[in-house]
Amino acid sequence: MTPYFLIDADKIEQNLKVLHGVMERTGCSILLAQKCFSCYALYPLIGKYLSGATASGLFEARLCHEEMPGKQNHVFSPAFREGDFDELIQICDHIVFNSPRQLHLFGCRAKEAGLQVGLRINPECSTQEGHAIYDPCAPGSRLGTTIEVFDAMPQDDFDLLDGLHFHTLCEQNSDDLETTLNAVEERFGKYLPRMKWINFGGGHHITRADYDIPRLERLITHMSRQYGLHVILEPGEAVALNAGTLHATVLEIQPKGADGISNVILDTSAACHMPDVIEMPYLPPLIEPVGHNVYRFGGPTCLSGDVIGVYSIERELHEGDELVFDDMAIYSMVKTNTFNGMPLPDIYIRKNGNVELWKHFDYSDFKCRV
């Protein structure tokens, strides 16, 4: 029953093969960024091709530990909590701190527990326009250590470091990575020979058709040869790009308004089921031939702005018709909520042509959160 997500495991495997090719040709490690896609039913498949996963905190780190056992488990957080730390250093093998202060507070314990210790840097190089909320190099950013702060770090803390980490891209190609690496080398180059590894973060749209993989591989090889560094990438989107759909049903079609557009109420909601549509914002792709019927799709919540978008499609819609939104595996299931008591979409997985129900949600999932 709609609304539901349908995850395409075969498409994810295709993506994983592309990423694995980069690992094989360059010797780099690639991790799944779980914050984008945490559908752990596919962790065994992902673990077959990638080096492991990276986490934003204790819960994601636990998920990797439980569902991708034996694979690398990295964690980064802008600030760690004392209460989480003992467990984190038991289950993780790499930890990345955001500031010299955090490194000073926690670095020794991580090191003694045998973890690789890194610091996130801010290369102060913005390469994206339009999506300021996804730009960690924007003025006033709390993410990463600038060279000014890095230079002033006490030697004892610096000596704890095995690697550096930056994450500045979002859905970008390898030309922007090249620009960013130039800034990293210009500012932090003097420290790079003393490190073992460098993590290029995520935001690399490696599995997109027009992504320039040879350039990415040249950049990885350059950092390895020039500074003796092992390179790590941690994409989220690239793992599950174009590998899932969200299915919804038309509940009501309102008469055309003054703007000549019919509002259509669906049983899915932008605010609850695809919040990035409002947050980013973007227009999710709809799997429909384009035509002259113009509809504004919205959710059944009370929020006036719960609008998915305006679409021109070929067919004339009727109550009960099903609509399918594309590229819904990424940043969707991990972001759903039950505002207005909206039911969460069930999750199905398609593998080798077979579709299986993976998760069913009901009233209790709403009730247990409020």
Ligand X SMILES: *Cc1c(COP(=O)(O)O)cnc(C)c1O
Return residues touching ligand X (CB under 6 A).
Answer: 33, 35-36, 76, 167, 170, 201-203, 234-238
CA–CA dist 88, 74 (Å, integer) = 10
Buried/exposed 94-108: b ≥16 CB within 10 Å, e otherwise: bbbbbbbebbebbbe
Nearest approach, Cβ of residue 170 and ligand X (Å): 5
Provide, rounded to whole angstroms, the least separation between the CB of residue 155 and ligand X.
Answer: 27
| Residue 97: strand pairing partners | 119
**Choice between 203 and 298, CB closer to ligand X:** 203
Give the DSSP H/E element, type plus range, for residue 354: strand 354-359
**Identity of residue 101:** R
Q: Which is nearer to ligand X, 21 or 300 (CB)?
A: 21
* Cα 33–Cα 59–Cα 36 angle in degrees, nearest 5: 25
CB distance 77 to 57 below 8 Å: yes
Task: Give the residue with the Cβ less far from ligand X, 97 or 311.
Answer: 97
Q: Give whichever of 207 and 262 is closer to ligand X, judged by the CB atom.
A: 207
For ligand X, which is the closer residue by CB, 65 or 167? 167
Task: State in angstroms the smallest separation of the CB of 294 from ligand X.
Answer: 32
Shortest Å distance, C-beta 119 to ligand X: 13
Task: Read off the DSSP letter of residue 94.
Answer: E
Shortest reach from residue 146's CB to ligand X, in Å: 17
Report the distance separating Cα 164 and Cα 119, nearest Å: 5
Nearer to ligand X, 202 or 343 (CB): 202
Rounded CA gap, 240 and 331, in Å? Answer: 10
In 3D, which of 273, 271, 275, 228 has the Cα closest to residue 248? 273
Minimum CB–partner distance for residue 237 and ligand X (Å) = 4
Dihedrals phi, psi of 91, to nearest 5 degrees: -105, -10
Cβ contact 203:239 at 8 Å: no
